[in-house]
Amino acid sequence: MTTPHTHSPTLLKPAKPVGIIGYGAYVPRFRLPAKEVARVWTGKSGGLPIKEKAVPGLDEDVITMSIEAARNAMKRAQIDPTELRAVWVGSESHPYAVKPTSTLVAEAIGAVPNTQAADWEFACKAGTEALVAAMGLVGSGMGHYAMAIGMDTAQGKPGDALEYTAGAGGGAYILGPAEESLAQINFSYSFVTDTPDFWRREYQKYPEHGMRFTGEPAYFKHITEAATHLMQAAGTTAKDYKWAVFHQPNTKFPQRVAGQLGFSAEQIEPGLLVPVIGNTYAGAAMIGLTATLDIAQPGDRILVVSFGSGAGSDAFDITVTDKITGRAGLAVKTQEYISRRTEIDYATYVRYRGKLAMK
Amino acid sequence: MTEVVIAGIGQTEVGEHWDIGLRDLAFLAIQNAVKDSGGLKPQSLFVGNMLAPNLSNQAHLGALLADYAGLLGIEAVTIEAAGASGGAALRQGYLAVASGFVDVALVVGVEKFTDKVGSSVDAALATTGDSDFESIQGMTPAAQAALLMKRYIHEYETPKDAFAGFALTAHANGVANKNAMFRKAIKPETYAKAEMVSDLLNMFDMAPNADGAAALLLTRADLIPSGHQNPLVKIIGSAASSDTLALHDRKDMLYFDTAQISAGKAMKQAGLTLDKINFFEYHDTFGIYAALQLEAVGFAIKGKGWKLAADNEIGLKGKIPCATMGGMKARGFAGGAAGVYQAVDAVTQLRGQAEANQIENAKVGLIQSLGGPASTAVSHILQRL
């Protein structure tokens, strides 16, 4: 059930129409099958929430991965990087507690020095949060182009339910005027409450969570509210969208919430990547959308709803334009990253992720 | 001795009430019971609760709930006997009215499991066992039940799925109960595929821990408000008994002495024999416990309790209908409220208000509330006036 609004929900609609000029994904090569986690921790008993998750290599982190995705986005946007007025990166795994990821990414793609740069934080919706802010920057006319990235090397405590799913990957978007865009973002809507379902305090290595509390009162409540109110205000129903992407912490949750909102399995199929790359936290909704844009056709309408613990959801109503034609092939596609796959065992995963305490 | 009637019943849905707390749950049930009674005003409040000091960091529920329910000034205490807390609170309410010292007693059972999650809940539940000899070794209520289940199957050479019938019956009966946590019937295949909890005991062999509250108003027949609409139900037998907490201290682990003693005493008080009991609300936190209660009370001989379930003799049309509104398995096990829910269910049957779950000619019902592996058993016999 959704909360009745005392006043009509306020859609976030930029003064000037805004759209996606370029987009890019990145998924690291290594894969840890969920059954490997089960082999080590549960004697292979119990159900598996996904098939396998993507694991970053020894020389990868949110900075290097963001650069890869940003470069892919630049290839599709075909703009001069110095025209970017913002480079924003949302993540739960910024390599530094103090020192931005975004300055390094901006430097690497040649966007410095005449640019804004900042790191965003809101659990798993830090990426879409940066996207809403970029809509504001471009839509207000403060800047012509802005880049928003959602990227994570997700943390899960060894043996915890999260270890099966905590994956790595994400997506980068360049926003600009709608008339230049391959997909117009018509409007967004954000729904936020104080709901402590999942958290990681400073100096803690792994997040903690409220187990079943992360389900109904957190994930389902916020996604349902955001999607329902956006569609009500827009006067749309599930049938008006060709595709939909929902935050995906495991396979079941997005499938269930899609069904509850009236979306079919076919509508969420292109963006449902969690079974094969895991939960990429702040990257999850972002990379679900890159995979969907890779196959989208002009005129396709897309609903995207993220979820971040703590908790909130950003919902986006997007319409693909004629300019999408030929863009997907300008950079590595999301599915190409997914099929570029090297399976590793649990021991290798432990080494790559630095889970052995050496001192 | 004064005759005691149950003049009002109230309950909340059982489930994960993330959005409301312990006191709200209790208040909702109290409000419903007072309304159902036609507006009786209690002088005493007996709260059945098992783990609030641990799960909700809240003790002293008597005064807390009296205050929250707008009853400040009345006598109010908590009664705790692990899973039998609800049954034990009902017995205290019964004794208070039967003694003549109290005109109207309010009994409310309440538990808020979801104030904690995961292993903290198991740790809290383990405090109801023998801490020095069992819990400290890692024993939990589910582990105790699993050991008894294994022993039962070994001793009586039953099939491994001997206890499936208890889950199937409970889930079938839960479908029409709008206050039940699970309202979906299950198939034998679903039971067979269920995930293991503690070796041999699977997910369907145990009831889910859940939030809930149930309330009863007890009084004398001559004090019933004039506007009271419902058929009256009388408590004609009430008894309780205690046994060791630790299983290793029992002479026979597979015989629930307290279930036999308390049911026997209650029947003696009621002047009834077993064949006069139309239905039995047992304490099915675990299927094995339901089987052992059927045997101890006398509905089956030792080693054959499971057969009653396997042959569907515990179904609504069976020889001895059990868990008639879904029991703890399908309704959900709401800790200290569980025993009060049993009374609410029994009254619903005896009033003829059980709708799709109504047992024909329900005149007398036996309810039995257990703490641990029948370390406490409280039995009540209810009769339609």
Which has more pLDDT, B167 or B222? B167
Would you say residue A3 lies in a domain? no
Q: A60 catalytic, yes or no?
A: no
**Phi, psi of A338, deg, nearest 5:** -70, -35
Would you say residue A10 lies in a domain? no
**Binary contact (B195, A45; C-beta < 8 A):** yes
pLDDT of B225 above 80: yes
pLDDT of B247 above 60: yes
Nearest CA-CA distance, residue B17 and chain A, Å: 10
pLDDT, mean of residues B182-211: 95
Nearest CA-CA distance, residue B166 and chain A, Å: 23
pLDDT tens digits, residue range B21-53? Answer: 999 999 999 999 999 999 999 999 999 999 999
Would you say residue A272 lies in a domain? yes
Hey, which residues 25-84 in chain A have their CB within 8 Å of chain B? 45-47
Measured between CB atoms, which of B16, B19, B196 is closest to A212?
B16
Rounded Cα distance between B47 and B27, Å, is 12
At residue A357, the pLDDT reads: 84
Would you say residue A11 lies in a domain? no
Fold classification of B4-117+210-223 (topology level)? Peroxisomal Thiolase; Chain A, domain 1 (3.40.47)
At residue B70, the pLDDT reads: 97
Q: What stretches in chain A show pLDDT beneath 70?
A: 1-9
For the complex shown, is ipTM > 0.85? no
Element (H, E) at A291: helix A284-295
Rounded Cα distance between B277 and B237, Å, is 12
pLDDT, mean of residues B88-100: 98
Interface test with B, best of A160, A208, A211, A216 (most B CBs within 10 A): A211
Nearest CA-CA distance, residue A46 and chain B, Å: 7
At residue A46, the pLDDT reads: 77
What is the pTM (predicted TM-score) of this model? 0.89
Identify the domain containing residue A335 by its residue range: 16-344
Interface test with A, best of B20, B117, B195 (most A CBs within 10 A): B117
Computed over every residue of chain B, the mean pLDDT equals 97
Fold classification of B130-206+233-384 (topology level)? Peroxisomal Thiolase; Chain A, domain 1 (3.40.47)
* pLDDT class of B153 with cuts at 50, 70, 90: very high
At residue A47, the pLDDT reads: 82
A311 upstream amide cis, omega within 30 of 0: yes
* pLDDT class of B2 with cuts at 50, 70, 90: confident
User: Which chain A residues are closer than 8 Å to B114 by Cβ?
Assistant: 212-213
Rounded Cα distance between A168 and A277, Å, is 7
User: Which chain B residues are closer than 8 Å to A44 by Cβ?
Assistant: none
Helix H, strand E, coil C: the string for B125-180 is: HHCCCCCCCCHHHCCCHHHHHHHHHHHHHHHHCCCCCCCHHHHHHHHHHHCCCCCC
Q: A247 catalytic, yes or no?
A: yes
Nearest CA-CA distance, residue B334 and chain A, Å: 17
At residue A3, the pLDDT reads: 61
User: Which chain B residues are closer than 8 Å to A46 by Cβ?
Assistant: 195
Taking the CB of residue A239, how many other CB atoms lie within 10 A of it? Answer: 10
At residue A353, the pLDDT reads: 95
**Binary contact (B18, A216; C-beta < 8 A):** yes
Rounded Cα distance between B165 and B306, Å, is 8
Q: What torsion, rounded to 10 degrees, do the Cα atoms B361, B362, B364, B365 define? A: 150
pLDDT tens digits, residue range A57-116? Answer: 999 999 999 999 999 999 999 999 999 999 999 999 999 999 999 999 999 999 999 999
Structural domains of chain A, count = 1
CATH of the domain at A32: 3.40.47.10
A9 upstream amide cis, omega within 30 of 0: no
Q: A124 catalytic, yes or no?
A: yes
Residue ranges of chain B assigned to CATH 3.40.47.10: 4-117+210-223, 130-206+233-384
**Binary contact (A212, B195; C-beta < 8 A):** no
DSSP-derived 3-state class of residue A238: helix
Would you say residue A174 lies in a domain? yes
